[in-house]
Structure 1
Amino acid sequence: MRLTAKILSWLLGSTLVVMLSFASLAIYMLEKNLRAEALNSHKLIYTLFLPSVTRYLWEFDITGIKETLSNIIENNYANKIYIFDADSTLVTFLYKDPKTGKISNSNNASIIKETENIITLDKKKSLEKKLYNDEENFLYQDNLPNETSRIIGSMLHRKRANAEPSVIGYFVLDYSTSNISNAIKAMIRNVVFLTLCITVMIVFAIGLLLRKTLINSILKLSQASLNISRGKFIKIPERHGSRDEMKDLVKNFNIMSSQIEENQENLKNIAEEGIKISSTFSIEDLAKQISESLSKIAKRNLNTEFYVINSLLHFASAEGFHEILKSEETGENLFLAPDDFEGDPTGKKRFSISDNGTGEVCAIIQISDIRQIYQFSYTAAESVYSAIRALQISVSNALDNMRFVKEQKEQQRLISEQETARLVQNNLMPKSDFRTIGDFELANHFEAADECAGDWWNYYKLTNDRLLLLLGDVTGHGTASALLTAVVKGYCDSIHTQPDITTKAILSQLDSVVRNSGDGNKVMTMFAAVLDPINKTIEFSNAAHNFPITIKKKQEKNSLSKLIAQGKPLGFDMTPTPEQSSQIYEQRNVTLENGDVLIIFSDGLIEALNTSGEEFSERRLKTIILKMAENSVTEIKNEIIKEFREYTFPNKLMDDVTFLVCRYKKIS
């Protein structure tokens, strides 16, 4: 409605200005013509009666002059007539009262004074010049007071037939133009009223047309855009029978909406299939799941073949798993030599899976060339290939999990289910307790409680030298907590590759993963931070986790501060509405300066008890951090461990203890 009002206001103003301009021009031309007609009419009167008045003046017949003047002033718009002699002396005059119409010629001081400047020397010279140039023998003046115009003419007389005419007097005729002004004023009122009515009618008609052809479509586009932001993809009905730009815009918008919906559905499918793939713990199940996932994403049977180099799983050969998994003739597993992995076979497309530890190829996904067999377009084929590349990390994680489980089974055949889960959990975190990643030094410590819990942390190198740090804690203990941690880790390995991923988006996606995993009774706290050395910022979001602590140097003095952001635990049973989904996890930024230190920790560190039942506490942790602020990250970590163990000895840990110490140290 606001756009409609603006357009109609502009049209109303523009149309009104144009019509009033044309009307003003027409009125001006009409007024000019009326004044010209009035002048011509009184020129004619002047011409007709001038000989008689001239003759009477020559004969000095005042009575004859007055009678003639009376005839003139009674029958037209003339309101004053003056007769002057050659010396500019007033001979006689007649005056008609404009209100009563009464004619008089009484002499009084005001009349005498009024006539003093009528016949001036300049006017005499102008009349003589006209006479000399054989032009019309009169002068015209308009815009005199009281809406009066004036004609001044010289009266000529020849003493003999062949003699030169001489000026014997001057004839002055004043006539009123008030009738013209009144007519013009009335016309202006009528024209303005008529123009306003016509303009309103035109603008109203144009407004209805715009509303039907343009505004309604724009409002539908606006509502459709809002629906897309809420996750609702509702197409806009196209107008039939019209071929204009607005129809093309609606058509293109529907195409864009369909593409966005399709892309979101693909991303959702990739994420869901990635979780399924990461959650498999056998080669057979993994091969089946890969085949099902790729067929679902491509909406075609891709004849998926999956080959694994089982030397990584303590076997000497490379074993291939087709969709059938076993040879129909022999019932044995299919094998493919590692040397056969180079290049794409005819009619096939291959994708290599790299081992997370060594970086070497550990598996091959082989599918039919969908451009050749199914006649996919380049864009459609690349979309499927991109989905497969996105799932490569999930496949690699599944293989890692399987390899680790197999290794542990070989070493400890009698290990309990809970212990296995705890070891899986430990394997999900980086092994080294110190590393340098670009401009960052990172030290970490993880100490599991006696009972398997759910602490987990990891780091990821992002584009533009950024570093992603994640630390989470699953509620409760046991196998379920450890397995949920594995699912979260697998998903994080996938989503961190998304372009321009943010901490808020990571927690939002993990919230759905945790809610839909397991029996739905587990929740997880997590802190996520992206350290950007180029833009000098720390971007962070928090899912009900302990607030991390930063060390910053201010005026040569170290100071501590918390990174505070609000958010609910991951998987908490609160399904957000589309309007609330973007508000669950707060995303904030702080400045990253050279030498800054970030400490992220789980609640197991500060809530551990001593023999008196007192907690280690965040206050004691801050004291240690401030004391060791100038030391290396490894020294800070070791001091925290030392103070922690001295405080809690000989109590056993009731919860996992995990913390990270990260320093930004710009490399020259």
Structure 2
Amino acid sequence: MSQLATAKIKYPLTAKIATALIFIILVVTGSFAYYEISENREEMESYEKKNNFSSFTSAIPVLENALWEIDFKTINSTLNQLMKNSNVISASLFSEQGYSISYLVRGTKKEPLNVVIEDLISKEEKEKLFKIEYNNKNSILLQIEDRKNEKFILAYPLFFKNSKKEKYANLKVGYLVMTYSTKHISLASKELLIKYSILFSILGIVLVITSFLVVNHLIISPIKELERASLEIANNRLYETEFKNRFFGKDEIESLKVNFNYMVKQIIQLIKDEKEQQRMANELETTKIVQKSFIPKANNLRVSYFEISAFFQSASECGGDWWHFYPLSNKRILIMLGDVTGHGTPSAMLTAAVKGYCDSLYSRDMDEPSTILEELDVIVRSIGGEERMMTMFSAIIDPLKQKLLYANAAQNFPFLINKDSNTSSPSTLLGNGKRLGYISPDKTNKQQPFKVHTIDFKVNNIIFLYSDGLTEAKNSNKREYSERRLMKKLKGIDTLNTNDIVNTIQLDLIDFTQGNRFEDDVTFVACKFCATEVSGYTNEIIKYFSERNQPQADAEEHLEKVS
């Protein structure tokens, strides 16, 4: 290196510009999102209050007459009418002493007994309610807001139907109390926050990239080019230069650059090629790491009543095969195996979208494997377009009922290994459907339901799933491993240990292919129904949804105790 050297740049201009743009965008979009979400929440709360206030006040005169006439049919009908609002938690009618006459609670068929008004409101609120005097507009309601539990309580006394006469003024015959939930408002606000976050993130990225590219093109790039050119000249590496007119015309930087343009262009091209190669290498390596993170590692893995072992080998840096299992409620387990057409980065990205959807199943009470395939069909079609489709086998195993429900979207038929059956050969789980993401020739894409099959699944039964990469693996003579060889090998296995089964198939596959590289991804999974349950399996996603659903479970338990 010559004596001519560049000064060390501690804070590059690129970083300063990018930081300033990001800060401005975050402040503007964050303020806007906060304002919009606050306004939206206030509007929803106002609407909910008006709606419930209207239905509550409308019920008051009806209940006053019904209570005075001891018409329980009208009382129950009116309270049931209030409960038709899905957000109403309870509607109750109390006597003038505060004892329950009729008490309806959402989610319970039987009416709770021995309920008093203090079970719903505090003593202080009860005293306020008992002091309310007759108002012909019913405008002075007792309104209690419980933000911690996200609910709202409306209460009002019922007066003698002829209480307009001064003689019977403020003669109370009972009290009406209605509780409604505001959780849906919080959920709507959270959904709006997520939408705004995604929208503003995309908008911010676009603005930052666009602004950075413009600044980089007009200022930063020419300066860097001049710096590199001056160093080249200082080291006596001279090149013939040529002048290239710029779109915005000549300026001071262009006048300095003109004598070095050709040399700089060569250097830029070299750096550009090297960066592109490095970017592609980094992208493939990153995708490979991400792809492997999608596939669970299972070697005699115990999950509740099940033992799982699996083998996965990608044909390239990233593949299209994917499998996973998901513990469900009531000791059940969902197990899935799919294959995206082709392999490489696009297939891995589609696999990422599918896994993202499947991870959401922890928060849902899923009962039908066909529902999963129908929703995945829409996701794959919207992301993969006409270039990518996916096969998928989905099964839900219920150890308590000893049943296996499955649906198939053009995936290889799995095998059921039952050593207690009359035949030693594995049975095939037949059932087929269209590929996920299939676009019909008429472009209508009408939903075609996937058929659900139900079979018995007893203790020590094993289901063996595999992708076509296993049966289509070729040896040096271009012969395929074949489904027949696989079934024969499974038939000859005496062990019920899933890891031994997987290792046996793996060694037989390696022996057959003679070490040749696989042309397609190879995946196979063995899942056994065990006689005993093993608890303790969890992961971060399961913990998150369990903790999020705990408040609801606690609330249901509290209601049971109260009733």
Bigger radius of gyration: 1
Looking at both structures, which has the greater relative contact order when contacts are Cα pairs under 8 Å and sequence separation is at least 6? Answer: 2
Which bracket does the TM-score occupy, shorter chain normalised? 0.3 to 0.5
Length-normalised TM-score, structure 2: 0.47
